[in-house]
Homo-oligomer: A and B are copies of this chain.
């Protein structure tokens, strides 16, 4: 119902939903960021700039040149990476707007060369301008300006996904939609695929699996488990270890550390659904992890580099005692948009690749078709596709005429 109201009603429907769902009265959906100034804490600004730099470095290295392959003399084939022209980024709002997700999606989109980058986020009640107009969350606004994003669209939830799929008076239609969200956003992303839009990946609750041995710090392991548990009561946190002592020490640390967390009730609920698993050896731990296919995998063992080589299903892997998941969540450079719910078996996380298509090209010379033509004719004939064969035959005949 939400989807079709947006499809038919456009901006007007979005403004109604802003009132209905977010309790916010906005005058318009499009916010021209150049007309506003956003101020944030200086240390936070520096931190965001550092993250931006690292994310840029890591994703720039994913750019691929075009290599021509001469598969047969006179037959040149190559691939070219071309940006998806119009992409939509959904940035959830609520109490803690995820400016980190904005960095993780907008930076590779810009590096890929996407022509239109449409950013949708719920309107912010707490941040009106001098004339009382509803604005965007301050840090989101500031980060957009840092990235050179000039406008943003104040709409959230399933209605934002619908708007980017069908287009409205102010929101351009896009070809691929990225970004996390609640169950309504997830459901909407699944639905719109039928209407020709691609999505980044199927979404589910966030997870971490930690493989740890006696060399791991129980304090660090507990902190990493809690950092995942605080995401939501449906978050999965799993500890797999060959050390009973470590598992017991981590339990003690969990009990100590959880007290200080503001989101401790959520974290507690997540922990109650989670498990510590004692295995006979670390190879068993790796097998378990490969079967589980975790979104995040921390390997806090002495031989972590060796074990890393055996990982076949995981979204992102963190090696050793000092590589906490939050590093990848925010600032080390890797992308934090990763496959959950076992989808690490068949999907990659977001990367530059997510924002491009690879188009194949070929150029065949007279010599090339002369050499390769008879093979094509033979195969087309065997598949009973005479027209396919004929496209070669007319060319070979022409070459004979020319002799």
- With a cutoff of 8 Å between Cβ atoms, the chain B residues found around residue A153 in the complex are none
Smallest CB-CB separation from A359: which chain B residue?
Answer: B314
- Please determine whether A386 and B99 come into contact, CB atoms closer than 8 angstroms: no
Q: Report the minimal beta-carbon distance from A270 to chain B, rounded to whole angstroms.
A: 10
- Please determine whether A387 and B333 come into contact, CB atoms closer than 8 angstroms: no
- Please determine whether A312 and B82 come into contact, CB atoms closer than 8 angstroms: yes
Name the contact of A99 in the complex, choosing from B220, B361, B383 (C-beta under 8 A). B383
Mask for A34-65, Cβ within 8 A of B = 1, else 0?
A: 00000011011011101101100110011010
Tell whether A240 is near chain B: CB-to-CB under 8 Å. no
- Please determine whether B387 and A48 come into contact, CB atoms closer than 8 angstroms: no
- With a cutoff of 8 Å between Cβ atoms, the chain B residues found around residue A358 in the complex are 348-349, 351, 353
Name the contact of A219 in the complex, choosing from B228, B345, B398 (C-beta under 8 A). B398
- With a cutoff of 8 Å between Cβ atoms, the chain B residues found around residue A72 in the complex are 50, 54, 332-333
Question: Known contacts being A220-B395, A226-B387, is A380 close to B58, with CB within 8 Å?
Answer: no
- With a cutoff of 8 Å between Cβ atoms, the chain B residues found around residue A376 in the complex are 47, 324, 326-327, 329-331
Q: Report the minimal beta-carbon distance from A92 to chain B, rounded to whole angstroms.
A: 11
- Please determine whether A332 and B71 come into contact, CB atoms closer than 8 angstroms: yes
- Please determine whether A368 and B139 come into contact, CB atoms closer than 8 angstroms: no
- Please determine whether B362 and A223 come into contact, CB atoms closer than 8 angstroms: no
Mask for A278-291, Cβ within 8 A of B = 1, else 0?
A: 00000000000000
- Please determine whether A332 and B362 come into contact, CB atoms closer than 8 angstroms: yes
The 14 sampled A-B contact pairs (Cβ below 8 Å) are A44-B378, A47-B374, A72-B333, A82-B313, A85-B313, A96-B384, A223-B391, A226-B391, A230-B386, A260-B390, A262-B384, A323-B364, A329-B380, A346-B357
